Amino acid sequence: MQASVHTAVRELAAEVGRDALTVPMIAQRAGVTPSTIYRRWGDLQELLSDVAVERLRPDTAPRDHGALPADLTAWAEQFLDEMSSASGRAYIRDALLGDPDGGNAGQCSAYAAEQIDVILNRATERGEETPGVETVMDRVVSPLMYRILFRPDGLDAAYARGLVTGLLDPTGRWPGKAA
């Protein structure tokens, strides 16, 4: 049932646009009654939030480029690319919104932390010195997501690379200052 409702939301969003979605429309496409949807999700916003989190789940493990700086840089660039796209930003907003208990936002964050954990574990196995996963969340994921949500102007791959360089290079104390 959940899968057919999620599919109906994605199909209809592509056809009529996200803002035109209604619960009866989704129910009809999914072949369930509206009351089934209200019982399971409460309201449209919570359903959209669940669909958004599902769409934000990474499909694959991060690619292995053979060294921590390359792995983390490639991951940060791809994360920025996906999350700052029009659909990525719409999913983030939906995930944050219809989320009374904060579980969906936490799940989005957990996805990023899991991907970074894979990258750091690979680096540790190679014998590389690594920061902790929470430090990478603070230094790379947080600034990317903050700027996507609050100040997207001028956000580009060079900025994402600079965050990773600043984290991994002990001589670059305040990278923004030297410029």
Q: Which residues bind its own copies (CB under 8 A)?
A: 93, 96-97, 102, 105-106, 108-109, 130-132, 134-135, 137-139, 141-143, 145-147, 149-153, 163, 170, 173-177, 179
How far CA 160 is from CA of 34, 129, 150, 176, in Å, comes to 43, 21, 16, 13
**Shortest distance in whole angstroms from residue 154 CB to its own copies:** 11
C-beta of 3: minimal distance to its own copies in Å? 26
Give dist(CA 33, CA 47) in Å, integer: 14
Q: How far is the CB of 34 from its own copies (least distance, A)?
A: 21
How far, in whole angstroms, is CA 139 from its chain's centroid?
Answer: 16
| Closest CB 64 distance from its own copies, rounded Å | 22
Shorter beta-carbon distance to its own copies: residue 27 or 99: 99
- Give the C-alpha distances (Å, rounded to integers) separating 126 from 66, 93, 119, 120, 134: 9, 38, 11, 10, 20
Which of residues 78 and 142 has its CB atom nearest to its own copies in the complex? Answer: 142
Taking the C-alpha atoms of residue 150 and residue 84, their distance in angstroms, rounded to an integer, is 11
Tokens encoding 137 = 């969340």
Closest to its own copies by CB, 11 vs 43, is 43
Of residues 11 and 138, the one with the C-beta less far from its own copies: 138
